[in-house]
Amino acid sequence: MKNKEILVFGASGQVGRHLIRKFTKNNYKVIAVTRNIHQKGYILKTQANPGYLELRELKTFDEKKIREMMENCEACINLIGILYEKKKGHFDLIHSKFPELISKIASEKKINQFVHLSSLGIDKVENSIYALSKKKGENKIKENFNNAVLIKPSIVFSQDDKFTTKFMSLLSKLPIMPLYYNGSTKFMPIHVSDLVNIIFEIIDKNLKNMTLECVGSEIFSFKEIIEILLKSIEKKRILLPMPLPLAKLSAKFFQIFPNPLLTEDQLKLLYYDNIPTGIFKTNNDIGIPSHKKFEAEVNKYSYNWKKGGQFSKKKFVNYE
């Protein structure tokens, strides 16, 4: 039995839930930190056998509590991030100040490994609050924790994501799908299980001091992704390129809603490709390639948006 104890912030998210399962199946003990145990605890408890998982609640950035959590840990993993701000200043709070705080404490506690989940495609962006807050957080971590590993994934997808599932929901209802920047922005989607495997290998092999861009094995434009999703849910829709002034106006409208399809800040990010920059190593460079194919994996859960559901056309899906 391995003696590493892993502290995971943001444990109840898409990556966190899969990561807990991966670690505990391999005899690691995980301390899973979430904002609300009563709301998320029942989900997390199903990811591990008794004795391998401890749940901790952190509603505010309580330095005393964080220090207590790190007391006996070998590694700390930060998965906390947001896609849009509910209040002004939240990007800086979540992406900059929190990573700065926990990386400083981890260094003082002499934690062996510190892994931080950031984002691919932000390094050349200068006009997005999201990107600037992410870069600021990365820089603070590097200042505080010399041997930190920064993970920068492209779109992370699975049946639990907020990308493919959101767009399939929209495509199943809307007759027209707008394409921003003609749908030409490039992505290399990575399945959550492949990303989790990369993080696990980093901890298990005690890798340190690197920035790693994590990508899938295929490159798609945004338009191609939408076409794959349409094919998967067996729908036909009009894909309409939207002029930038109109796109900005629609983003301003959408961001009014609690869970916006698009914000003005996200529109700025969409201008930039979400593929390896060549500045940093990728998961392929360190011998941990991605195996899951985008279309094949999406087909496994797209039945939720098909007419007739899972057994449409009486076709069974192999989930292995």
Q: What CATH code is carried by the domain that includes residue 151?
A: 3.40.50.720
Examine residue 204 and state whether it is found in any structural domain, yes or no.
yes
d(CA 47, CA 38): 16
On the 0-12 / 13-18 / 19+ scale of CB atoms within 10 A, 219 is middle
d(CA 135, CA 118): 8
Element housing 34 (H / E): strand 29-34
Instruction: Count the neighbouring beta carbons within 10 Å of the beta carbon of residue 255.
Output: 17
The number of residues in the chain equals: 320
On the 0-12 / 13-18 / 19+ scale of CB atoms within 10 A, 54 is middle
Examine residue 266 and state whether it is found in any structural domain, yes or no.
no
d(CA 320, CA 157): 17
Residue 180's pLDDT is 95
Residue 265's pLDDT is 95
On the 0-12 / 13-18 / 19+ scale of CB atoms within 10 A, 55 is middle
Q: What angle do CA 52, 58, 64 make, to 5 degrees?
A: 100
Residue 248's pLDDT is 94
Residue 140's pLDDT is 98
Q: Which of 172-181, 270-279, 303-312 is predicted with the least confidence, judged by mean pLDDT?
A: 303-312
Examine residue 235 and state whether it is found in any structural domain, yes or no.
no
What rounded mean pLDDT belongs to the chain?
Answer: 92
C-beta separation of 34 from 57 below 8 A: yes
Strand partners of residue 213: 152, 282
Domain that holds residue 94: 5-160+189-216+275-290
Examine residue 309 and state whether it is found in any structural domain, yes or no.
no
The C-alpha R_g of the chain, in whole angstroms, comes to 20
d(CA 7, CA 152): 20
C-beta separation of 84 from 111 below 8 A: no
Is the predicted pLDDT of residue 54 greater than 80, yes or no? yes
Amino acid found at 205: K
Mean pLDDT over 72-86 rounds to: 94
Residue 259's pLDDT is 84
Q: The tokens of 201 are what?
A: 């290998």
Is the predicted pLDDT of residue 2 greater than 50, yes or no? no
H helices of the chain, where?
14-25, 37-45, 63-69, 90-92, 98-108, 129-144, 164-171, 192-204, 222-233, 244-254, 264-269, 294-299
Q: Could you give phi then psi for residue 276, rounded to 5 degrees?
A: -55, 140
Examine residue 257 and state whether it is found in any structural domain, yes or no.
no
Amino acid found at 242: M
pLDDT tens-place string over residues 102-142: 999 999 999 999 999 999 999 989 999 999 999 999 999 99
C-beta separation of 173 from 214 below 8 A: no
Examine residue 81 and state whether it is found in any structural domain, yes or no.
yes
Is the predicted pLDDT of residue 157 greater than 90, yes or no? yes
Examine residue 58 and state whether it is found in any structural domain, yes or no.
yes
Cα separations in angstroms, 108 against 67, 93, 96, 101, 148: 9, 21, 19, 11, 14
Q: Which of 31-35, 95-99, 114-118, 267-271 is predicted with the least confidence, judged by mean pLDDT?
A: 31-35
Examine residue 171 and state whether it is found in any structural domain, yes or no.
no
Q: How confident is the model at residue 86 (pLDDT cuts 50, 70, 90)?
A: confident
Is the predicted pLDDT of residue 4 greater than 90, yes or no? no
Q: Which of 246-250, 255-259, 276-280, 311-315 is predicted with the least confidence, judged by mean pLDDT?
A: 311-315
Q: How confident is the model at residue 257 (pLDDT cuts 50, 70, 90)?
A: confident
Is the predicted pLDDT of residue 40 greater than 80, yes or no? no
The structural domain count of the chain equals: 1
Helix crossing, 14-25 with 37-45: angle to 10°?
A: 40
The pTM assigned to this predicted structure is 0.92
